[in-house]
Structure 1
Amino acid sequence: MLRSLVFCVCLMLAGCSTISFNNLFNDYASEVAPIRSAIKNNNLNKAQQLISKRAHGHANYLLNLLEQARLADLNNDSQQAKALYERIYQQVQLDNQSAKLQLSTAVEQSNALLTNDSSIAYTPPRYEMSMLHSYKALNYIYDNNLEAALVEIRRANQVQKKALQDNQTQINETQTLAQSHYPAMDELIGNIKNGFQNAFTYYLSALLYQANKQYDDAYIDYKKALEIMPNNQFIQQDLQRLAKRQNFDIDFPVDQQSAKQISELPPEQGEVIIILEQGLVPSQVEFKIRLPINTSSGDARFYSLALPAYNDMPYSTTLNNLMIDQQPLQFSPLVNIESLAAKTLKDEMPSKLSRQLLRLYSKEKLREEIARSAGNVGNIIANIYNLASEQADTRSWNTLPNKISVARYPLTPGIHSLNIINQSKINFSVSKQGLTLIYLTSINHYFNYHVVKL
């Protein structure tokens, strides 16, 4: 009986080679919580020390690199951030092109039937890859390398273009029942159409094209940004001004009242563009659903499904009262990343439910086999293992910001100051017909900024 019990336990743990025992029995959101806390307390060095380094082949390898890259960004280590972002991009490209991936993915999916979804190698969703390229582009902007920044922004736009071709997954009756108990997250998701289109990326792209005097390309991407965020007054005004400049017919919705106030910028003026990112995207939480499932003996028993979800509480702005030369600024949102994350998770739920239901059946079969081989002791151990390993896969890029907004104003050439309550004023210069970008990051007690002339 002992040999049978040992064999069965080894079988249960055979799928854990790509993750640690800590990852198997503890959710990712809990693991990264101390890192998020260190960021909020403006202790970036501690945050970088706390993050565990994962070797290639570990299920969390790419996610770990994403977190490291973002921490390097926040700690003003541009070179390290760019190197990590590029490593992630190259690995994702390699995985997509590798024929071996199909076999390894099949093995991971099989392993997950005896463990949980955390044993499946993490693949960054489309909105995370779009943000990766956007951040890498920003690092090139800080280095005054506009050409390299444009390469990254094209990659970001390509991610969104490909995502539009994805198809919906079909679900069966059992999945439908489970999904009916799953949180809707409607407040968090809002009115976005999908979990990958990002007006921030398109706006940044348009801004770079405009700085490079590629006005037709800038017009196209401003228009894409407006399709995603139709009420953003700054995108509206930028698009209308470019339409006038290029003699394009206005074929996009605009607010008629604001349209009357928009005129060509005086040739002697320049512009300041302030992009403000705030907070941290929320962590996923575990949500449990109890469903009646028929066992092999025909008995109906209730089983718990552990699924990831987001608390349906939208982020509220904490940084207010920004002024340029005593003139109050008004920001307009570009993207709520929490909405993209929640919509992405909701769209992935059919496939997650499929694996979860298969896992229930597989673990129940294994429990019955162990009970037959090792008696009551085996049955108890199997039940304990099943309960302990039933953890929701709460993995996501946890160091992303929550919300990104923009403000854009014409200014006379010369030195100006941006005043923020509880922060030192930021002096910046504006040149005739020039574009000055100020990128702000505010996460509780952490605050950082970059000023660059495009």
Structure 2
Amino acid sequence: MVLNRTISILQRTSVLFALMFFVFGCASYHDRITDYYKKVGAGDYVEAEKSLDKNALVKKDRNKLLYLMEKGRLAHLQGEYAKSNNYLNEADLLVEDAVKSVGDVAVGLFLNSMSQSYKSEEFEIFMLHYYKALNYLFLGETQEAVVEARRISLQNYAQGDKYKDKTTRYSKDAFSLILQGLIYEHAKNYNDAFIAYRNAVEVFKSAQGSYYGVSTPRALKMDLLRMAYNLGFTGELNAYQKEFNLKYNPKEESEGGDLVIFWENGMAPIKTEENIVFTLVKGEKGGLFFTNALGIMIPVSLNISGGTTLNDVHSLNIAYPKYIVQQPPYFKALAKSNDYNYSFELVEDIDALAVMTLKERAGKELGDILTRMAVKKAAEYALKAAAKSNGKDGEANAVLEGIGFGVQLFNMFSEKADTRNWQTLPAKVNYTRIPLKKGENVINVEMERPTGQRSTYSITVYGTGGVQFHNFATMR
């Protein structure tokens, strides 16, 4: 009687515990803060910030980096540039100190990666520098913006070292190098600007002209020619004019300087999860492998059998992250200034970066997930083996059997893909460079939706003879 009651209690408790995981764990990160995203997209930044601040999930310590990046983005959208950089600088420090603690590794190994501290996507780090640099520029803090530009070089070096000899990987960020060149040009540091533009061109050349969804912008080519001319690099100027099939005419330079406009269109793709079925099998030499219907075979280095056979191992349904791309609200834009039209060019495609970089690291992602599944199965098999032993204490074995049942359910419902990302980043960043006359300039940006509906965004800027910057976002 006591034995049956013990088993019954254990099983009911296990089911309740597993259902609790299912109810609170099946929703993605996006689903659980969707109210915040809707308000940001609608341009209701005050209410969006209230929604973010009262959200228990994003306020957890493991999500602190995401919280800081979102707060920084919100402040930037509201024109509070100093406040924005307070948040983004704190986020930057978290990125620099992103060292995996023993406890954090254990959480990822025994529970799921969603429960670990968020470390950020690689392209998110470059976008962090982008917003910090713009904040400094808008605050008139040119030297701080130059420091941020130099940090872009360090980040690109680190990225290159990470994927050394892997030309097909995201080893550099071309957009950040273009931004770096523009900042140097703004500071009249033409030699460094030339180097930055040249480095950006080389990134595109190494990728045969198209890098993660972006073709070499014509504006970048003209900027490189301009810097070569200003520095008196006649040989480089002639070589690049021939390579680009473009002619640089210094007479076209304007007395009022230039305005660089960054148009941030749409929102980053939603990160969700999909289920992939794998089966754990033994190889010819006794090694363990995870395999699926597509023929993927991933070896498992851990000995998880616990002295038992694998005859009772069924297919494993794992949760794997994936991105769902959202269509940007507009598909083209044209800037009109002083009776001239200026087209926007795509300079950063975060949709493509998110999808393609996840695909590039698919092997590592799957390896981490399957290793975690192997560890979980190890505990399950060990308890089953103990319950089936020939010990004299039948009640103790029954308790182990009940615990084993609970572990099996826990393994099933606690497995979860990491669906976190910096969701309010733009889907696409486009830019154009517009010559200014001295004094007041009114620029009208006409945008067109896929439906044909048009909208106009107006900018008033005063030409002072240097390079100025402006950015705006269209999310809905």
TM over 0.5: same fold?
yes
Equivalent in 254, 265, 268 of residue 278 of structure 1: 265
Unaligned runs of 5+ in 1: 14-19, 171-191, 445-454
Contact 2:279 2:315 in 1 (8 A): yes
In 2 relative to 1, CA 333–23 (structure 1 residues): closer, same or farther, beyond 3 Å? farther
| Structure 2 residue identity aligned to 1:382 | V
**1:74 and 2:77 matched:** yes
Contact 2:258 2:466 in 1 (8 A): yes
Equivalent in 418, 436, 453 of residue 468 of structure 2: 436
Q: How does 1:326-341 map to 2 (within 5 A)?
A: 326-341=339-354
Equivalent in 80, 103, 108 of residue 107 of structure 1: 103
Q: Tell me, what secondary structure is at the counterpart of 2:440?
A: strand
What is the Cα deviation at residue 400 of structure 1? 1.1
| Structure 2 residue identity aligned to 1:305 | I
What is the Cα deviation at residue 347 of structure 1? 3.1
Equivalent in 121, 143, 167 of residue 117 of structure 2: 121
What is the Cα deviation at residue 297 of structure 1? 2.2
Aligned to 1:203: 178
Identity %: 23
Aligned to 2:284: none
TM-score normalised over the length of structure 1: 0.79
**1:221 and 2:196 matched:** yes
What is the Cα deviation at residue 292 of structure 1? 1.6
Contact 2:69 2:422 in 1 (8 A): yes
Q: Tell me, what secondary structure is at the counterpart of 1:306?
A: strand
What is the Cα deviation at residue 29 of structure 1? 2.6
What is the Cα deviation at residue 385 of structure 1? 2.3
Aligned to 1:247: 232
| Structure 2 residue identity aligned to 1:137 | A
C-alpha offsets along residues 356-382 of structure 1, whole Å, 9 cap, x if unaligned? Answer: 112222222333445535366545533
Aligned to 1:290: 277
| Structure 2 residue identity aligned to 1:166 | K
Q: Which moved more, 1:255-264 or 1:204-213?
A: 255-264
What is the Cα deviation at residue 241 of structure 1? 1.4
Unaligned runs of 5+ in 2: 210-215, 282-304, 388-397, 447-454
Equivalent in 417, 420, 429 of residue 445 of structure 2: 420
In 2 relative to 1, CA 267–438 (structure 1 residues): closer, same or farther, beyond 3 Å? closer
Contact 1:325 1:419 in 2 (8 A): no
Contact 1:196 1:340 in 2 (8 A): no
Equivalent in 376, 382, 386 of residue 411 of structure 2: 386
Cα distance in 2 for partners of 1:117, 1:301 equals 23
What is the Cα deviation at residue 327 of structure 1? 3.0
In 2 relative to 1, CA 258–434 (structure 1 residues): closer, same or farther, beyond 3 Å? farther
C-alpha offsets along residues 314-358 of structure 1, whole Å, 9 cap, x if unaligned? Answer: 758435243224533211111112222223322332222222112
In 2 relative to 1, CA 434–125 (structure 1 residues): closer, same or farther, beyond 3 Å? same
**1:356 and 2:369 matched:** yes
Contact 2:22 2:413 in 1 (8 A): no
Aligned to 1:182: none
In 2 relative to 1, CA 255–131 (structure 1 residues): closer, same or farther, beyond 3 Å? farther
Q: Tell me, what secondary structure is at the counterpart of 2:120?
A: coil
Larger Rg: 2
TM-score normalised over the length of structure 2: 0.76
Q: Tell me, what secondary structure is at the counterpart of 1:320?
A: strand
In 2 relative to 1, CA 194–256 (structure 1 residues): closer, same or farther, beyond 3 Å? same
Cα distance in 2 for partners of 1:366, 1:156 equals 45
Cα distance in 2 for partners of 1:222, 1:257 equals 14
Q: Which moved more, 1:297-306 or 1:279-288?
A: 297-306
Cα distance in 2 for partners of 1:50, 1:198 equals 33
Cα distance in 1 for partners of 2:176, 2:424 equals 18
What is the Cα deviation at residue 82 of structure 1? 0.8
What is the Cα deviation at residue 210 of structure 1? 1.1
| Structure 2 residue identity aligned to 1:156 | I
Cα distance in 2 for partners of 1:169, 1:353 equals 23
Structural RMSD (CA): 3.4
In 2 relative to 1, CA 412–79 (structure 1 residues): closer, same or farther, beyond 3 Å? closer
**1:65 and 2:68 matched:** yes
Q: Tell me, what secondary structure is at the counterpart of 1:393?
A: coil
Contact 1:24 1:119 in 2 (8 A): no
Q: Tell me, what secondary structure is at the counterpart of 1:285?
A: strand
Aligned to 1:449: none
Aligned to 2:90: 87
Q: Tell me, what secondary structure is at the counterpart of 2:468?
A: strand
Contact 1:26 1:391 in 2 (8 A): no
In 2 relative to 1, CA 211–223 (structure 1 residues): closer, same or farther, beyond 3 Å? same
C-alpha offsets along residues 45-85 of structure 1, whole Å, 9 cap, x if unaligned? Answer: 22212223679982222122212221222222222211111
Aligned to 1:410: 435
Equivalent in 403, 413, 423 of residue 398 of structure 1: 423
In 2 relative to 1, CA 203–79 (structure 1 residues): closer, same or farther, beyond 3 Å? same
Q: Tell me, what secondary structure is at the counterpart of 2:423?
A: coil
Contact 1:277 1:441 in 2 (8 A): yes
Aligned to 1:235: 220
What is the Cα deviation at residue 95 of structure 1? 4.2
Q: Tell me, what secondary structure is at the counterpart of 1:47?
A: helix
Cα distance in 1 for partners of 2:58, 2:460 equals 43
Q: Tell me, what secondary structure is at the counterpart of 2:136?
A: helix
